[in-house]
Amino acid sequence: MDESKKGWVVTVSLKLPTLQDNTADTDRLLTAVKTVLKTDTVGIDLKLVRQLPALIRKSKFRVVCILFKDQNRWILIDIKDATDTGSIAGLAVDLGTTRVVLRLVDLINGQPLADIAFDNPQISIGPDILARIHFTNEPDGLKTLNKLIIQGLNHKVDELCRSCNVRPEDVYLLSLAGNTAMTHLFMGIDPHWIIREPYIPVINRPGLYRAQELGIKINPFARALIFPNVGSYFGGDLIAGILYSGLNNQDQTAVLVDVGTNAEVVVGNKNWLIACAGAAGPALEGGVTRMGMMAGPGVIDKVTIDPDTLEFKLHTIEDEPPIGICGSGLIDLAAQLFIRGMVDFRGRINPLVCKDRLVEIDGLRHLVVVPEISSASGARLSISQADLDSLIRSKAAMYAILETITSRVGVALREIKTFYLAGTFGSFINPESAISIGMIPDLPIERYQSLGNSSLCGAAMALRGEEYTEKIDEIRDRITYLELNVSSEFMNRFSAAKFLPHTDLSLFPSVVIKK
């Protein structure tokens, strides 16, 4: 009849009450739990107290407790008969503006059970977050947006649970990471001030709530941990990313680069963290180039151009006929176009090299990537001069951010031994291509580590125990946020980086261009 703690789950055997030991049921249970957790206070819901006397007697005084620790205070979420064989699960959510990913996790061993993803249903209101924030000014606008995401989540939680033979009632903990605006919409909080000077969120540290209060249909006692943000432009998704990377625990200074709608960069080590964000990504996400889209079957994700024949070799996801290109494919394409001389150092399409791949549509130069005959839809897939210009601004912003932030802390980019690549597609980037266009510094490839969906993985880490959740506020509080939009240093670096790979070619010795 041993006591044990595994993850967020504690099993205890209570001593039977006697005339000499007539402590109340609740106090008897909480004292046993406190001993295991080595703590003074454990909170408990009234509804749980009401169920307790029958439950502990039915379970012969041996029970399993699901707990959570919120700001140094333990909370007893639910209690089960120790012989109950039902699952005890947690749910991690990466709440993206475009895509939402859910992961079901076993709360005892912390292992993932299954993932599921879906497009953010708020896209029906507006594809980008700005449009959605404006929509909250409409009557019931906030309510509508909130309902869309909550209903979408509930629907997918059901589907995810079914796929693992887990009941939604078996899910006791929700861990959610998203950008600041999405977090507000999820919580039903007005994001009006986020996009208006001086850019004030309603809340930076949402913390812990009842999942029920948020409208999430899992166990009625379940709690929801919402990752904190640093401000309007540095959200919980990034805090989750830092947690997952472990950058905050390391001796050596490392860099985390998250490329999604924004480019966000964190530099730091176990002693300090400095971060900034900039609008580096729009050109790289689906929707900006005409043929751009999220990764999916038929989407071009890798491009090579034969140095001699200039023939395009395109790889599509699941080898389906091409329907569009995703961010990592676009960077590959731009890098190949540049090193094969098809675009020049200013990013201009070179008619002499491109020849019949060059077409003019509505008075704008386009380079044909997939001709009518090869595309899935029968429509030509092309990239325009405007797309390339936009991409160059994005990559220049990213590089300028990296230069500015490292120079502020007195570290040279070349001294950084580890670059974590994260984000919607950041983690799928081919670093060689990103170096070729001067998006990231020209360093040995092995210094770049892909994290995958670091927001989801960070959220899932919180489901493993207090040793992880305790880091969350610590990370948030240690971050110094740099405001770049107002920095002339950043603007100068940005201008210098608006060339392929850079105005200063000595920074990119490995990039060899076909003359």
Task: Note the residues at the interface with a second copy (CB under 8 A).
Answer: 17-19, 21-27, 41, 43, 46-47, 49-50, 52-54, 71-73, 187-190, 192-193, 197-207, 209, 213-214, 229, 231-232, 483, 486
Q: Please, how many CA atoms are within 13 Å of residue 40, restricted to the half-sphere of its CB?
A: 1
Measuring CA to CA, which residue among 9, 107, 11, 6 is closest to residue 62?
11
CB of 12 to a second copy, least distance (A): 17
Q: Which residue, 226 or 284, has its beta carbon nearer to a second copy? A: 226
Distance of CA 358 to the CA centre of its chain: 37
Q: Which residue, 17 or 296, has its beta carbon nearer to a second copy? A: 17
Pairing of strands 381-384, 364-370: antiparallel
Record the tokens describing residue 84, joined without a space.
């109950």
Q: Which residue, 416 or 472, has its beta carbon nearer to a second copy? A: 472
CB of 100 to a second copy, least distance (A): 20
CB of 147 to a second copy, least distance (A): 14
DSSP for 451-489, written as a single string: EESHHHHHHHHTTS-HHHHHHHHHHHHHEEEP--TT-HH
Q: Which residue, 18 or 309, has its beta carbon nearer to a second copy? A: 18
What dihedral do alpha carbons 161, 163, 165, 169 form, nearest 10°? Answer: 10
Q: 3-class DSSP state for residue 400?
A: helix
CB of 330 to a second copy, least distance (A): 33
CB of 141 to a second copy, least distance (A): 14
Q: Which residue, 119 or 213, has its beta carbon nearer to a second copy? A: 213
* Residue 172 contacts residue 67 (beta carbons within 8 Å): no
CB of 200 to a second copy, least distance (A): 5
DSSP strands (E only) in 310-374: 312-316, 324-325, 358-361, 364-370
- What is the DSSP-derived secondary structure letter of residue 413? G
Chain length of the chain: 515
CB of 483 to a second copy, least distance (A): 8
Q: Which residue, 19 or 352, has its beta carbon nearer to a second copy? A: 19
Q: Which residue, 47 or 348, has its beta carbon nearer to a second copy? A: 47
